[in-house]
Amino acid sequence: MALGPGEQGPWTRLSIGARVVLAAVLALVATVLVTWVAERSALRWRADLTADAENTLHPATSKVLAELPREIEIDLFFSLPDAPFQLVGREVQDRVRRLARLFADQSGGRVRVEDHDLSDRTRLAPRSQARRHELGLTGIEPGGLAAVSAGGRRQLLRLRGDFSDLDPGNADPRQGPVRPPRVAGFRGEEALLAAILKVSEEHAPLVVFTKGHGELDLESSAERGAALLVRELLAQGFRTRAWDGNAGAPFPADADLAVVLGAEQRFTAPEFEALADYVERGGRLLVALSPRTVDGAASVEELLGRFGARPRPGGIVCTPMPSATGALQTGIPQCAYAVVGHEGMPAQNPVTDPLRTAGQRVMFYASRAVDRAPAPRSARVLDLLRSSPESWFETPAGGADRYDYAPDPTSERTRFTLAMQVVFPPEPGRAPVASGDPARPEARVLAVGSVDALANHLVVTNRDFIANAFDWLASREYRVRVDSREREARRLDLADPAPVARVHTVAVVLLPGLCVLLGLATWRKRRSTR
Amino acid sequence: MSGFLAIARRELAGLFVGPLAWALLSIALLLQGWLFVLYLRTSGGDVDLSLRFALGESWAFWALLILVPPLLTMRMISEESRTGLLEFLLTAPVSDAAVVAGKFAAATLFLALLWATALVYALTTAGLGVPPDWGALLGGWLGAVACSALFVAVGLFASALTSTPIVAAFAAVILNLVFVTAPLLGGLSDQPAVRRAVARIDVIDHHKSAFLAGVLDSSYLIFFVAWTLFFLFLAVRAVEARRWR
């Protein structure tokens, strides 16, 4: 309706203008309010239209999300995947993003997701940098990772290995039919769920470190200190405590696992017996060995020998190091490093399987070889990490710790066991440990040949191995089985050019061409009717 | 209702009688078709992934969405206002809302048709023995239509503000760009409140994390409906305001 002659004054127009602005503001508020209300989980309705139910969480996941005891944050730090996984890596990133969003949507606000795009490092938001610092993320590999955290605890999940298995395919026709890289398996839901369970559980397992025998200093930030290990364990949801048995303190009854970090002196007899008794009653023990042999009664060697693992005395394992030209070098101190790849790890093992599938390696320094010894009744002994086949056993050339890092002509070149796992039932008739798992009462021992593998200078490199090892020892294997979600492969055969050519004809020639023809016909018709 | 239908029919016929719609359709289909084949090749023949690219995963989709709706809607109100046709229309026995809704329906239908060409791609691959995930395709198409509806509403609002079509198109492109890029820029902020606020208008995220993933979620659907209605409301108000001049 037009304004009448008497209604065209400036005040009338101002009043109408104000009313219009008010109406627009109210409409904006209503829009924001409606979208906010629509996000409330109680009012939401959703339907998964996909044929493979890709967007529907497993009932076990939904149950966990519905009963979460605390708020969970999922930080996605995704970057460009490395070759040849650029495309499939992005596909996995995309699926993880959607999955994380699904977790957030179904948790009723208990799970929050933050996506930090690391693709463009020049524009990295201060917020992302701050979160990386908070979560203790120093280096992020190509492709990136997801951090699941609650309070001070966090779990890191990698694109390759944790979320998915990626098949590099074959780009070389000489090595068989050319295949593009593909996602061989996607288990994002299971990985996220396990991480959420770990960071949200009420019980924090207690790790007891022995002290007073030359072990690594738990508070030292020096290269051979263990401050980073302790920080990593706290972040993983463990508690830590030092046990000074020398001072006569009793072994903590609430210990979930005992750790000996490179003891170089013998234990006292009561300490030794307390440790042995704890393990024999179903306790968990990790012994990381110092390069120096400590033999005799009440030594770590004797302790491990009692459970089926015997450190080989008098030397360390060395491996030839590749030079810049690719030739293998010996006679240099770097030969004391042993890098264990997937070929030195068993499959189907909770400690090494994630490392194998992720293509990750474990680095040891000045590692002892661990041999098998008579094991307790019904024990299962497994060589967990083995050196490369070119390794040799290096003995000091003149005096303790003086190595020339060169194999003797008579040196045996073989794989040495650098870490050994032993599992056995507790001794019958004895009271099981207080913290034991009643569902699966068993003692678990892990002998690690190199204490340096757990020291500050190698903790970041071996972070996943350490996390898996401690999780296994503390029975933190969350087996909420969620089936791997495989998208049914719907692929055109690119080896045959005909199908793609046909799609090209339809999509690029026929459809646009038809529009051009119809447009021309319309134009001609219009001209002729004028 | 009959007024709304009459206007929608008239607008749709007007679109297809003029050369602009055909030109836009041809260019858009050529770009979409070429990119679809490109994605098909680079994804190792993955039909679902390529269709997702065509319906929202690619930059080309968003470029088309930012540019095509303003070009379609720029003349719908502003041109008619300039030529005096709008005044004639507003004196007809139809409400302002019916006028705006009819034009909105026509432009949205046109874009729905454009995105439906993904169905032709899918039928082609199905004919070659590789049928796509039809449910996911439907979700992607619905999302593309929802995004288009929102941007058409923005375009109509801009068109109602001015009598110069090119200015209307320019204003609509700017508004669309704000919608698309604000969340990206907001993501750079270290203020959680800012990030949360801009996430509420993140069109790309709302499309990609629900519709394009093959999920029909009432919350995401209401997001698009609410914002579309908001801009349509503004457009109706702007048309109404012409009576005061």
B225, pLDDT greater than 70: yes
Q: Amino acid letter at B42?
A: T
pLDDT digits (tens, 9 = 90+) for B47-62: 888 999 899 888 889 9
- Count CB pairs under 8 A between chains A and B: 193
B215 to each of A27, A428, A488, B135, how far by Cα in Å? 28, 55, 17, 9
**Could you tell me what percent of chain A has a pLDDT over 90?**
37
For residue A53, the cross-strand partners are none
Share of chain B above pLDDT 70, in %: 94
For the stretch A351-380, pLDDT in tens is: 898 788 777 889 999 999 999 999 888 899
Place of tokens 């490093």: A337
Of B40, B120, B213, the CB nearest to A500: B40
Taking CB atoms and an 8 Å limit, are B200 and A35 in contact across chains?
Answer: yes
Between residues A128 and A9, the one the model is more confident about:
A128
For B73-87, the pLDDT digits (tens) are 988 888 777 777 777
Q: Point out the least confidently predicted range of A222-226, A267-271, A460-464.
A: A460-464
Question: Does residue A397 sit at the B interface (CB-CB below 8 Å)?
Answer: no
Provide the chain B residues 177-206 that lie in CB contact (below 8 A) with chain A: 187-190, 192, 195, 200
Q: Which of A52, A97, A519 sits opposite B26 (nearest CB)?
A: A519
Could you tell me which chain B residue has the CA closest to the CA of A1?
Answer: B243
- Chain A positions touching B192 (Cβ under 8 A) are 127
Which secondary-structure segment (H or E) carries B72?
helix B59-73
Verify whether the Cβ–Cβ distance A506 to B22 is below 8 Å: no
Q: What is the pLDDT of residue A61?
A: 83
Nearest Cα of chain A lies from the Cα of B53 at a distance, in angstroms, of 12
Half-sphere exposure of B236 (CA within 13 A, CB side): 19
What is the C-alpha to C-alpha distance for residues A68 and A104, in angstroms, rounded to an integer?
A: 12
**pLDDT score of A398 more than 70:** no
Q: Cα(A152)–Cα(A79) distance, rounded to whole angstroms?
A: 25
Contact of A109 with chain B, judged by CB distance below 8 Å, is answered with: no
| Residue % of chain A over a pLDDT of 70 | 93
CATH architecture observed for domain A206-473:
3-Layer(aba) Sandwich (3.40)
> What whole-number distance in Å separates Cα of residue A267 and Cα of residue A244?
11
Nearest CB among A180, A503, A511 relative to B125 is that of A503
Mean pLDDT of A156-185: 82
Strands A239-243 and A328-329: unpaired
Least confident of A45-59, A289-303, B127-141: A45-59
Give the per-residue pLDDT at A123. Answer: 52
In angstroms, the CA A456 to CA A319 distance is 22
| Average pLDDT estimate for B28-38 | 90
Please indicate if any CB of chain B lies within 8 Å of the CB of A256: no
pLDDT of residue A449: 96
Q: Are B183 and A121 in contact (CB under 8 A)?
A: no
Choose among A30, A45, A125: nearest Cβ to B188: A125
Query: Could you give the number of structural domains in chain B?
Result: 1
Cα gap A414→A187, rounded to integer Å: 36
pLDDT at A199 over 80: yes
Determine which of B230, B231, B236, B245 to mutate to test the interface with A (most A C-beta atoms within 10 Å): B230
Confidence of residue B187 (pLDDT cuts 50, 70, 90): low
Dihedral sign from CA coordinates of A339, A344, A347, A351: negative
The closest CB to that of B237, out of A24, A28, A515, belongs to A24
* CB A168, CB A181: distance < 8 Å: yes
Within 22-51 of A, beta carbons closer than 8 Å to B belong to 23-24, 27-28, 30-32, 34-36, 38-39, 43-51
Token code pair at residue A400: 């303790």
Cβ separation of A44 and B49 shorter than 8 Å? no
- Nearest Cα of chain A lies from the Cα of B239 at a distance, in angstroms, of 11
Q: Which residue of chain B is at minimal alpha-carbon distance from A499?
A: B128
pLDDT tens digits, A292-344: 878 788 899 999 999 999 999 889 999 998 887 778 888 898 999 999 998 99
Q: Which residue of B42, B128, B241 is in closest CB contact with A492? A: B128
Task: Please tell me the predicted confidence (pLDDT) of residue A263.
Answer: 92
CATH number for region A59-200: 3.40.30.10
Asked if A490's CB is within 8 angstroms of B46's CB, the reply is yes
- With CA atoms as reference, the chain A residue closest to B237 would be A20
Number of CB atoms found within 10 A of residue B188's CB:
15
Q: Which runs of E-coded beta strand occur in A264-386?
A: 284-288, 309-311, 316-318, 321-322, 328-329, 337-340, 362-365, 370-372, 380-386
What would the DSSP string read from start to end of A337-353?
EEEE-GGGS-SS-TTTH
Instruction: Give the count of beta carbons closer than 10 Å to the beta carbon of residue A19.
Output: 11
Confidence of residue A5 (pLDDT cuts 50, 70, 90): low
Question: Taking the CB of residue B203, how many other CB atoms lie within 10 A of it?
Answer: 22
Per-residue pLDDT, A1: 47
When the pLDDT of each residue in chain A is averaged and rounded to a whole number, the result is 86
pLDDT computed for residue A478 by the predictor: 58
Q: Is A350 on the interface with B (CB under 8 A)?
A: no
Q: Where exactly are the structural domains of chain A?
A: 59-200, 206-473
Q: Does B32 touch chain A (CB under 8 A)?
A: yes
| Torsion A432-A438-A443-A446 (CA) sign | negative
pLDDT for position A431: 79
Q: Cis before residue A354, ω within 30 degrees of 0?
A: no
Which of A117-131, B121-135, B188-202 has maximum average pLDDT?
A: B121-135
Query: Taking residues A36-60, what's their average pLDDT?
Result: 83
Interface of A with B in 52-71 (CB under 8 A): 52, 54-55
- pLDDT of A447-487, one tens digit each? 999 999 999 999 988 988 998 899 899 887 654 444 555 55
pLDDT band at residue A6, thresholds of 50, 70 and 90?
low
The CA distance from A306 to A422, in Å, is 11
Q: Give the H or E element holding residue A270.
A: helix A269-280
From the list A16, A30, A494, the residue facing B244 with the nearest CB is A16
Q: Is the pLDDT of residue B72 over 50?
A: yes
Q: Which residue has the higher pLDDT, A522 or A484?
A: A522
Higher pLDDT, A252 or A436: A252
Question: If you measure CA to CA, which chain B residue comes closest to A112?
Answer: B196
- The terminus-to-terminus CA distance of chain A in angstroms comes to 36
- pLDDT higher than threshold 70 for residue B33: yes
State the average pLDDT over residues A193-220: 89
Domain residues for the domain of B147 are 2-244
- Predicted confidence (pLDDT) at residue B240 exceeds the cutoff of 60: yes
